[in-house]
Amino acid sequence: MPINLLITGDYCPIGRNAQSIENGDYSMFGNFIPYVRNADLAVTNLESPLTLMSEEIKKTGPNIKSSPNAIKALSFAGFNLVTLANNHILDYGEAGVKDTIRHCKEEKINVVGAGENLVKAREPFITAINDVKIAILNFAENEFCAASENTSGANPINLITNYQDIKKTKQKVDCLIVVVHGGREHYQLPTPKQRERYRFYIDSGADIVIGHHTHCFSGYEFYNEKPIFYSLGNFIFDYKKKYQTGLWTQGYGVLFNLSKGGLDFELIPYWQGRTENEKLVLLDDQEKVRFENKIKQLNQIIDSDELFYSEWKSYLQTQKKDYYGMIFIRNKYIRAAIKKGLLFPFFFQSKEHKRLLLNIFRCESHQEIMMNILENNINTYL
């Protein structure tokens, strides 16, 4: 008998959806719910901790949390597993992580990708459906979220331990899915290292690789006859007004059909979090044609090294001012002035310093030393 597996992107029940949830209104899923309830296993990424804690960790980027009641909306929709390895799971400290796991378990929703320590965070989710054993491993890029030997958090990207866990888990199951939280936000293609890393996970034994985090949908490829989806985009994520149009508001779920004959899948595209309607709405026929054409274009770029690196080179040109500012300039107001063209950046930069920074970032040993020094220095002042 075929098995249906549904996987979606980032579920972050904040903004207008948060108020609906507090009122017991779970209609934000719209006409997507039948796909969830008809799946044998339905998975989404829980992008925010579910906690009443008020103390934020010190980090770059926003600290996000949601009401514990938000898990009831997922239960209502029919989800039975959440991935927790993401860059926000530790936003409200270890207590926030533990609260999230507890609230999920109280609603009988399984978790993977985070835990009270690194050993727990690395544990796979394994289930048997129609006598087919399926496992999910969940990794996140190393931001302010990683678990350690003694502290709670997310299961981080580490190619050595990731490889070990994929190999070990694959020996126990028929189908292994790796779900990864990473990539460049708002960029609709994988980075070169990301593409290399996700292909490595296939080489290590994964049958499917799924990505999210970028807040925009990307394409997919078949690598060694195994599918890699580089980003599904946001699932439910109502955010700032400036994001309520464009790529932020469009995503897709993937419905996999596993059978003895092989693996098929269907893309389920939708709008969500838009100015006029925060709820999820499936695309109509005309919108779906435009979506499919865009997916084909992205797939062609991913599959062609010439197109892929050309797009990456063009993208880097758009990021120079931002990244040079972050590297060279301490004051955020001066960085903003340079970005707007009000100040000339060459007053703060030199080629000699750029070469020094390149060597620190590129050389593994220098990179490790610099990271450890910064970590120790920041912890000193906490």
Helix (H) / strand (E) containing 103:
helix 93-106
Look-up of token digits 């289930």: 127
pLDDT of 140-195, one tens digit each? Answer: 999 999 999 999 999 999 999 999 999 999 999 999 999 999 999 999 999 999 99
Mean pLDDT of the 77-89 span: 98
Q: Looking at residue 323, what is its pLDDT? A: 73
Average predicted confidence (pLDDT) for the chain: 92
Tell me whether strands 110-112 and 114-115 are parallel, antiparallel or unpaired: unpaired
CATH superfamily of 3-303: Metallo-dependent phosphatases (3.60.21.10)
Q: Looking at residue 350, what is its pLDDT? A: 75
Q: Is the pLDDT of residue 276 over 70?
A: yes
Q: Residue ranges of the domains in the chain?
A: 3-303, 308-380
Mean pLDDT of the 304-321 span: 91
CA distance 331 to 351: 21
pLDDT of 3-32, one tens digit each? Answer: 999 999 999 999 999 999 999 999 999 999
pLDDT classification of 125: cutoffs 50, 70, 90: very high
Looking at residue 217, what DSSP letter applies?
B
Residue 381 buriedness (CB in 10 A; 0-12 / 13-18 / 19+): exposed
Q: Is the pLDDT of residue 345 over 90?
A: no
pTM for this predicted structure: 0.91
Q: Is the pLDDT of residue 337 over 80?
A: no
Q: Is the pLDDT of residue 382 over 60?
A: no
Letter for the amino acid at 108?
K
CA distance 256 to 264: 6
Instruction: Enumerate residues 6+ apart whose C-beta is below 8 A from 118.
Output: 146, 147, 148, 149, 153, 155
Q: Is the pLDDT of residue 381 over 60?
A: no
Mean pLDDT of the 306-333 span: 81
Q: Looking at residue 297, what is its pLDDT? A: 98
Q: Looking at residue 346, what is its pLDDT? A: 60
| Residue burial 181-218, b: 16+ Cβ < 10 Å; e: rest | bbbbeebbbbbeebbebbbbbbebbbbbbbbbbbbbbb
Q: Is the pLDDT of residue 324 over 70?
A: no
Q: Are 233 and 205 in contact (CB under 8 A)?
A: no
